[in-house]
Amino acid sequence: MAKKQAKAEAAEKPEGEVDIAKQKAEAAAKAKAAALAKKQAKAEAAEKPEGEVDIAKQKAAAAAKAKAAALARKRSKAEAAEKPEGEMEIAKQKAAAAAKAKAAAKAKAAAAAKNRAAVQEREEVNTHSEISPNQSKLDQIVSAIESHVGQGALLEHYINRLSKDVPTLVANPDTYFSIAKFLRYDEQLDFSYLSELHGTDFESHMEIYVHLHSFKMNQSVALKVKLDRDTPVIPSLVPLWSGANWPECEAYDLLGITFNEHPDLKRILLGDDWKGYPLRKDYEPYDVEV
């Protein structure tokens, strides 16, 4: 009956009104179908686990990006095809010029770095090849020691570039005290002031370092001696410089170096019952956590 009635109404309507009615009906049907599809998609998404939903979103995003990139490439090709040949040549020339400029900048930077390295190397060579202002004084001291103490009294001697070019003398353990005595009482040298004395554990041996100064010469000198690590024994310098008293006690206390003829060799930082010497490289504390 409804169909019959609709046909009757359509027959009564003009043709224009009939087309509009059909279009409206089709649009309504499409909207209804879209709503149903949307509803179905939501229902399917609700049924899927969260991981699958995320994967689906990622796939959709990736597809959208790929589509956008393809469109951009297509557009750029179309624009390039629309450009006149002259503009294409200009663009190529600009790209080539930019590449050349970049390569030139890299080459310039490399050349500058190479130049800096060469200058630094020349400076280092010149620094080490220059004669130290203290070289003549070192030669004078060494000559005096060899003349009065003996040719084999010194193991070596050199200018210590890392310590203000101080003349450095390395003595034999047997000649250590004799050299120190000569430096102290020689009228020309007159090293009357002992400013520093300390010991060091080099694991292979012990070493005593003494820093002396002569006000007469206005010059400092370092006197070093290497000792056996197992039995580090050396004469005391207290008879020559009273200022060696406490530094020698400290070396005895912390490193276990014995100074013969010291007037009162004792521990000054640790107790008499303390075991071991804390500045030795192999020292193991009683309580590691403390």
Whole-angstrom distance, CA of residue 234 vs CA of residue 45: 90
Q: How far is CA 8 from the centre of its chain?
A: 95
Return the minimum-mean-pLDDT range out of 35-39, 74-78, 178-182, 217-221. 74-78
Q: What is the mean predicted confidence (pLDDT) over 128-142?
A: 86
The total of other beta-carbon atoms located within 10 Å of residue 64's CB is 10
Helix (H) or strand (E) holding 4: helix 2-12
Whole-angstrom distance, CA of residue 231 vs CA of residue 256: 9
Name the 3-class secondary structure at 269. Answer: coil
Which pLDDT belongs to residue 122?
A: 53
Phi-psi group of 67: left, alpha or beta (phi > 0 → left; psi -120 to 50 → alpha; rest → beta): alpha
Domain positions in the chain:
89-130, 135-260
Residue 42, token pair as written in the block: 């939501």
Kindly report the pTM of this predicted structure.
0.55
Which amino acid belongs to residue 148? Answer: H
Q: Which CATH architecture has domain 135-260?
A: 2-Layer Sandwich (3.30)
Question: In this prediction, what percent of the chain has a pLDDT beyond 90?
Answer: 46
Q: What is the mean predicted confidence (pLDDT) over 149-172?
A: 92
Which amino acid belongs to residue 147? Answer: S
Task: List the end-to-end C-alpha distance of the chain, in Å, as a whole number.
Answer: 105
28 — pLDDT class (breaks 50, 70, 90) = confident
Return the minimum-mean-pLDDT range out of 120-129, 163-172, 173-182, 189-198. 120-129
